[in-house]
Structure 1
């Protein structure tokens, strides 16, 4: 009788865990596909997210990194900038600032089918792991690129709002894109003011309500 009671209790506990754990998503998520098929995500549900496209500038970025506080904006960075700025990349990694891969114009991936793989390999060499998120510089994602990224388990992110001359009004679910390029860039002081003016969520938490943490396992 005691064995039967113990068995029933164990089964009940197992069923409870099966139903509870997927909803709570224990905070540890690896690099993996967050969508069920090739697609481009541009908007979330649970809050507002700031993303920064970075291809140019060093001194201003160092200043920005000293001022910003968690939760951090998500940086999309070109591999060329990474290679020129390894010291800054190391600081970002130490502060656990999220880094995604910023690619070239979308049409380049049709003309050069191996370009995406080359950039992913460069990113992994520098950062130490594959990118979880990728976006093109012009926010164009050809079907061919979507399929390649899907096979590589890399998620594609566009934006719902863009900061050109003035800061757009953000609503719940928005993903704001901010340019920091040589020929198109936002003033760093204004950017810092925006980040301090309201609360923002990481990409995963905005889209899925998931909280992303990292954990190092001993080898």
Structure 2
């Protein structure tokens, strides 16, 4: 009888300690979505299509853009200076839980000003109350020193497979990451964004990259 009580006690303790771990969300979903051990620029996934929008300009225009978005929403790369100017739009992004990432300046500026990246990340955290998981320079140039900073900060460098704004729709490619602009002098029209959105099923960047087959581009020396 005593042996049975001891055995039941041990089994109960094991259940308390280990059963909750079986239902715990995967750490890959809770922490940085680090896909590789080395700092690289991700420009393509393994399956499907993902849409990203670079935003650095506009108030009413961006409000109209946000109203048009449907699930799954594209990943919004947001210029932090723009976000600081329009807190109401930031609140809408946060309220709707739209996926958002940090859009940086031209890549070469991080070589001339090494403190700039850390400052922008801090500003992003202050505005969005979360650390960015994804980062993209506005010209998609990632100097080696910047990639090292991203790796140390556990933030992923995300480029794109193709840039598109208007004209013929891009040919569908497995794992493609499409980037569309929303800048002062370079922005996609809402009708063209709608045309692109309806041209193929889109999925989140995370879903696109779950399979670890990733295409990379050469890093500038």
Same fold (TM over 0.5): yes
Give every structure 1 segment of 4 or more consecutive aligned residues whose post-TM-superposition deviation is greater than 2 Å: 1-4, 24-28, 30-35, 164-167
**SS of the residue 1:190 aligns to:** helix
Q: Which structure would you say has the larger Rg?
A: 2
Q: 2:191 aligns to what?
A: 189
Distance 1:207 1:124, change over 3 A: same
Which whole-Å CA distance do the structure 1 matches of 2:89 and 2:170 have between them? 29
Indicate conservation of the 8 Å contact 1:74/1:203, yes or no: yes
Indicate conservation of the 8 Å contact 2:162/2:179, yes or no: yes
**SS of the residue 2:170 aligns to:** coil
Q: 1:92 aligns to what?
A: 93
Indicate conservation of the 8 Å contact 1:33/1:150, yes or no: no
Q: 1:75 aligns to what?
A: 76
- Is residue 200 from structure 1 mapped to residue 186 from structure 2 by the alignment? no
Q: Which runs of 5+ in 1 are unaligned?
A: 211-219
**SS of the residue 1:100 aligns to:** strand
Number of residue pairs matched by the alignment: 207
TM-score (norm 1): 0.82
Aligned CA RMSD, in angstroms, stands at 2.9
Q: 2:58 aligns to what?
A: 57
- Is residue 114 from structure 1 mapped to residue 115 from structure 2 by the alignment? yes
Q: Cα distance, 1:192 vs. partner?
A: 2.1
TM-score (norm 2): 0.81
Q: 1:215 aligns to what?
A: none
